Amino acid sequence: MQRWFYLDSHSQKQKIKPNKMMSEKQESVKHEITSQTWTFSVSVSNHIASKERVFITGSIPKLGEWDYKKMVPMDQQSDSDIWSKSITIPNTCDVYYRYVLGTLNEQSGDVIINCWETHIKPRVIPENMLYSAIDSFGECNGNHTVNRGWLTCRKLIQFKFINNPLKLKSRLEGRLVNIKVTPVKLSFGTEPHAEESSLSTDTMDVEAPAGVCVEVATLDNDTSLCSLQPQEQFGREYRPNDTLLINVYAPEPKTIAYLIDLYSFSSRASSNDPPCHIGYTYVLPNMFKPSEGVLELPVTCNVKHRPLGTINFEYIIVCPMEEPLCNLQASYSKHWDPSWTGLEVGHRGLGASFKTKEGNAIRENTIASLKKAAASGADMLEFDVQLSKDLIPVIYHDFHVCISMKKKKEVAFSEMLELPVKDLSLEHLQKLKVYHLVEGRSHETMFYDEDLEEHQPFPTLEQALKVIDVHVGFNIELKWTMELKDGTFELNNPFDMNTYVDKVLEVVLKNGNERRIVLSCFNPDICTMVRNKQNKYPVMFLTVGVSEKYPPYRDPRCLSIPAAVQNAISSDILGIVVHTEDLLRDPTQVKLATDAGLVIFCWGDDNNDKNTIKKLKEMGLHAVIYDKLDQYITKEVKESIFLVEARESQREIMRLAALDALPASESSGTLHMPSESGVRPYLDLSVRHKLNERSTVTSLESLASSIDIRDDDKNLKRNRNITNVDKDCRGKEDHTSFLGLFPAGDASKGTPKKVRRDD
């Protein structure tokens, strides 16, 4: 702080100053203002439900530091759609914030996040802003970005009505039926309570269970029906071969029963007549299994109270994660930069190694394979994750492995025992002599790499997140058993679905850091779980589609690319990963996905060809997953696109730092360049200090390398052998110095403000 006067040394004798005359002008002492009262105001034009309100969260303690449990409720101005709140904010750093629409559960005190602003860069109160303005919910810097919330204090029970679930008496055959699910609170000794949005007009006076809501989606070519919408009074019509999804969100599902009503229009009804109530059934909470299951229940006639038929449906129950690992600081669940097209994705690292005898030279899904693919210029790495018996996420593709049943005193190759990966602990998987299924069934060992640590199978997911260059993205496929159309399963008796997803997400959320990560699965229910359990990483639905190479699954959501598109919309996920065989059969399906606003990747053996890869990129695929990436990649510079972006960000930071260091007269002319048309980004001075503290050689290394790349084309090619993989990865660790240069509102790294003083 600047001093306005200096005192003499205390060792010297103080002089007695004569009193000043009243006429003499006394110098006023100026005080530093370290905080001020700021009124946050936001206009919410969309309709807000009766129990819904606006909250604010942000980077400072007064705004909860992005913790959804510490959000600040705002007050609605009378007869207005404007909500406001006055809060004391500091003047020593930029203040970042977002708005949230939520519902307060009065019984538990928890806040249910319905939707929130998810701009990559949050709102900011910069150093040169003195007066507040009225924000518009969801609108920031010309972009409207609002996403659904995730499960924090409620559970999701999803009813799935697929494959024509109704079997009714012959007199009702051929008639379209509406299906409606109404939550009913089990209050023994008192009147039952039903969810308000699902009640007919004659029972609207019944109190609804607190925090419960019902949403409906039908997979249809009409995308408006695919999106989740509040359930209507008479439910949703079910047509033959439809897929109808009904989501019930409830804080305490064990205290709620579910009334399933069936409605149908009479043949003599006019266009204005409502449908007739033809039957019903009840689902009690003790009928559910912990995570997933199937129920077949009798339907009772509404008039005669006699059996009318049966209804069959599947269900999943999605629970919030026990450890809250998500906050409101940033979300990438629906974010995909338009420049990310035609990305190169290494399949199982450098490629599958057991499909043919000419498979990849490095064992698939190992640290060595991942490192080699990263060093070869992969933008992302795709690999498969399962759980060991002790619930540790490991990287492996097949559900089963082979173990030698060598008898005593037997030297020759012995019979192999096939065991599920889930039945072996991590120690067993990594220390026992375990063979791939292809090796076990052919009695032929394909790899002799036991002495090479990074070539061993079953690395952990945590290890991969820590040792692979952070600028290489991950496409993590969650391996989960699927039911085939013939009724068999790929794996019997799997883990509990919630436990499996929680264990994988826990490792990803704790160790993902700045890495670009996409989570994917062939099982649509796993995609639903991953989307609702966390808010940070995007989810993509893997699909086989129409194929002659693979047997079809039973779930209709998996049978075609249009069905996958519809499911992605209903699940509110980023996009789909399709089989190239189906895509090449009908290339127009790419436009079907992109027109729906989805990101589309592709996978399959057809991708293992340079001409096919080029064609797929020209078709507009956002990413192509293929084997032997080191041979088929066409990049001249063997670097991830995310590393290039990070280098450009560092160069921009250094440029701005250099401009700020120039004298005012010299820098003023520099600032009036043609590039000033956009708003100048706010510079994080803490980053500048970090750059200054580092040596010139280190801080300018990536900048110099990028200049060399432009000057000398010979420097573009960096051929790396597998023996140099470790060295390459260690070299890339230097680039991590510019991680976090644009924090999403981290108060601890905020930009210092100009100090305001009283006049």
Q: Going along 371-443, which residue ranges are E strands?
A: 380-387, 393-395, 400-404, 416-420, 434-435
Judge whether 450 lies within some domain.
Answer: no
Q: What SS3 state is found at 404?
A: strand
Range of the domain at 546: 353-397+458-632
Identify whether residues 531 and 627 lie together within a single domain: yes
**pLDDT at 697 (0 to 100):** 34
Which CATH number covers residue 166? 2.60.40
Could you tell me if 93 and 217 lie in one domain?
no
3-state per-residue secondary structure call for 23-55: CCCCCCCCCEECEEEEEEEEECCCCCCCCEEEE
**Is 18 domain-assigned?**
no
The answer, yes or no, to whether residue 21 has pLDDT greater than 50, is: no
Model pLDDT, residue 447: 72
Are β-strands 307-318 and 155-161 bridged in parallel, bridged antiparallel, or unpaired?
antiparallel
pLDDT tens digit string along 700-741?
333 333 334 333 333 333 333 434 444 444 444 444 433 443
Tens-place pLDDT, residues 137-178: 999 988 999 999 999 999 999 999 999 999 998 888 888 999
- Asked, for residue 431, whether it belongs to a domain, the answer is no
Is the distance from CB of 584 to CB of 590 less than 8 angstroms?
Answer: no
Q: Mean pLDDT over all residues of the chain?
A: 82
Sequence-ordered list of residues with C-beta below 8 angstroms from that of 23, at least 6 positions apart, any chain: none
Number of structural domains found in the chain: 4
Name residues whose C-beta falls within 8 Å of residue 245's C-beta, 6 or more positions apart in sequence: 158, 159, 160, 161, 216, 217, 218, 219, 228, 570
In sequence order, what are the beta bridge partners of 39? Answer: 86
Which of 296, 318, 340 terminates a domain? The answer is 318
Tokens read off for 254 = 């064990």
Q: Which pLDDT value is given to residue 688?
A: 36
Tell whether pTM > 0.75.
yes
Instruction: Look up residue 489 and give its DSSP letter.
Output: B
Q: What pLDDT sits at residue 7?
A: 35
**Single residue among 91, 114, 148 that ends a domain in this structure:** 148
| Pair 95, 121 in one domain | yes
Tell me, yes or no, whether 5 lies in a domain: no
375 found inside a domain: yes
Q: Which residues contact 200 (CB under 8 A, 6 or more apart)?
A: 233, 234
Residue 204 has pLDDT above 80, yes or no: no
Same domain, 89 and 105: yes
For residue 622, how many other CB atoms are within 10 A of its CB? 24
Q: What are phi and psi of 658, to 5 degrees?
A: -65, -40
* Higher local confidence (pLDDT), 5 or 585: 585
Q: Does 354 or 503 have the greater pLDDT score? A: 503
User: Is pLDDT of 18 > 80?
Assistant: no
Same-domain status, 656 and 604: no
C-beta separation of 641 from 342 below 8 A: no
Residue 86 lies in a domain: yes
Residue 703 included in any domain: yes
Residue 614 and residue 528 share a domain: yes
State how far Cα 104 lies from the chain centre. 25
DSSP three-state, residue 98: strand
For the stretch 299-345, pLDDT in tens is: 999 888 899 999 999 999 999 999 999 999 999 999 999 999 999 99
Among 500, 601, 485, 624, residue whose Cα is nearest residue 543: 601
Residue 478 sits in the same domain as residue 611: yes
Quick one: tokens of 95? 């203040």
507-552 pLDDT, tens digit each = 999 999 999 999 999 999 999 999 999 999 999 999 999 999 999 9
Considering only CA atoms, give the Rg of the chain. Answer: 31
pLDDT at 125 over 80: yes
Q: Which of 408-417, 588-597, 684-693 has the lowest mean pLDDT?
A: 684-693
* 455 in Cβ contact with 362 (< 8 Å): yes
Task: Evaluate whether 400 touches 421 at the Cβ level (below 8 Å).
Answer: yes
pLDDT at 6: 31
Q: Determine the Cα–Cα distance for residues 624 and 377; give it in Å rounded to an integer.
A: 14
Same domain, 240 and 134: no
Examine the domain organization and report whether 528 and 482 are in the same domain.
yes
Of residues 369 and 26, the one with the higher pLDDT is 369
Return the percent helix, strand and coil in the chain, to nearest 5: 25, 25, 45
Same domain for 53 and 140?
yes
CATH code: domain of residue 39: 2.60.40.10
CB distance 433 to 404 below 8 Å: yes
Asked if 623 and 687 sit in the same domain, the reply is: no
Same domain assignment for residues 289 and 376? no
User: Does pLDDT of 747 surpass 60?
Assistant: no
pLDDT of residue 123: 96
The pLDDT, as a whole number, for residue 758 is 41
SS3 state of residue 267: coil
pLDDT confidence bin for 192, thresholds 50/70/90: low
> Degrees (nearest 5) of the Cα angle 153, 157, 158?
135
Residue 226 lies in a domain: yes
CB–CB of 307/437 below 8 Å? no
